[in-house]
Amino acid sequence: MHPHNFGAGPSILPRQVFEEASKALIDFNGSGLSILEIGHRTKTFQSVMDETRALVKELMQLDANHEVLFLHGGASTQFFQVPMNLLPPAATAAYTDTGIWAAKAIKEAGLFGKVNTACSSKSTGYNHLPKELELKNDPVYLHLTTNNTIYGTQWQDLSVFYNTGLPLVADMSSDILSRKMDYNKYDLIYAGAQKNIGAAGVNLVVLKKGILGKTGRELPSMLDYRNHIEAGSMLNTPPVFSIFVCLLTLRWLKAQGGVEAMEKINGQKASLFYETLDALPVFKGTVAKEDRSKMNAVFVLENPKAETEFLELCEKEGMFGVKGHRTTGGFRVSMYNALPMESVQAITAVMRYFAQTKL
């Protein structure tokens, strides 16, 4: 039996993606060659790259102004690449400080220009999302993290950002393609692939070409988005296999009914989970209810001494990755696109059983 995998990333992908990727490692599309040994400049791989980028455009319903890139690295790479490409030395960028990853993005931006912290929930341990933004010094862009993986908060209403009229840059690593959203409202979106899109080792970057080339900064070739756009996301040898896994995952996502269908099932999974959590007094959610993430549910036990006992029960029942992030402790149940409803049913059953034994 496949364990229920609630890991936060690298995380569960659709079963059929594992199976198709496994086959392609032996024989890719009847070529007799493994996907790992095919040159990236071959027609065979070019068609993988083309279809993957086209599927992103289709699933995100991007307009003609948006380019799609698959770049080496993870979101941490984008933390510096974004300001390096977008923030002139004397200019200001506004950042929302809503978690550890957001704070890391702020630190990197400070190397390239001025940073205005538009809002912060740091003083209360990032347990909610601030409802107001303070914008000053005419920021050239506003950066947000749509879902905070470690704390389990997610911006449910993005209009506070849309209303600023500022160019928006978003780290969507942990909730991209999990809900309907007007992706065209963003000048730049980035996401490490290893949660909702595919395998670790590649970044999805979606951006408007028109925002580039305004910093006066001379960039290393590999860090200049313009070079990657010009080269069709093939400036150097790309992370071939990671991109292929993205292709398989995106095909699956489309077959499920796309983002709209994902939003529906993700809503059902989150409802079941949080309703169970709220009905069981032995457990306690750690963030403001209105800001709860549909991707990562973070919670603790009223009696922290029983933590090990709960984790052991989870392990015994074939639940993987329930332990919380090392900075928050407690538990985290991640419910990315590929996590089936059955897994949420299974863990909520375990939670109910545990609650009963504690009565």
Task: CB nearer to a copy of itself: give 102 or 129.
Answer: 102
Residue 142 and residue 167 in contact, taking contact as beta carbons nearer than 8 Å = yes
Residue type, 162: Y
Task: CB nearer to a copy of itself: give 23 or 284.
Answer: 23
Task: CB nearer to a copy of itself: give 92 or 149.
Answer: 149
Closest CA to 334 of 292, 295, 301, 277: 295
The yes-or-no answer on residue 155 being catalytic is no
Which residue is listed with tokens 């991707």? 295
Interface residues toward a copy of itself, by CB under 8 A = 1-3, 5, 7-13, 17-19, 21-23, 25-26, 31-34, 36-41, 72-77, 79-80, 84, 104, 107-108, 111, 192, 194, 199-202, 218, 220-223, 235-242, 245, 318, 320-321, 326
Residue type, 126: Y
Task: Show the tokens assigned to 264.
Answer: 């529906």
Minimum distance between the CB of residue 101 and a copy of itself, rounded to whole angstroms? 10
Catalytic residue among 187, 195, 269, 291: 195
Closest CA to 181 of 155, 202, 150, 207: 155
Task: CB nearer to a copy of itself: give 234 or 277.
Answer: 234
Minimum distance between the CB of residue 240 and a copy of itself, rounded to whole angstroms? 5
Residue 118, burial from CB neighbour count under 10 angstroms (0-12, 13-18, 19+): buried
Buried/exposed 61-80: b ≥16 CB within 10 Å, e otherwise: ebeeebbbbbbebbbebbbb
Minimum distance between the CB of residue 80 and a copy of itself, rounded to whole angstroms? 3
The yes-or-no answer on residue 195 being catalytic is yes
Catalytic residue among 97, 171, 187, 224: 171
The yes-or-no answer on residue 101 being catalytic is yes
Residues classed as catalytic? 101, 171, 195
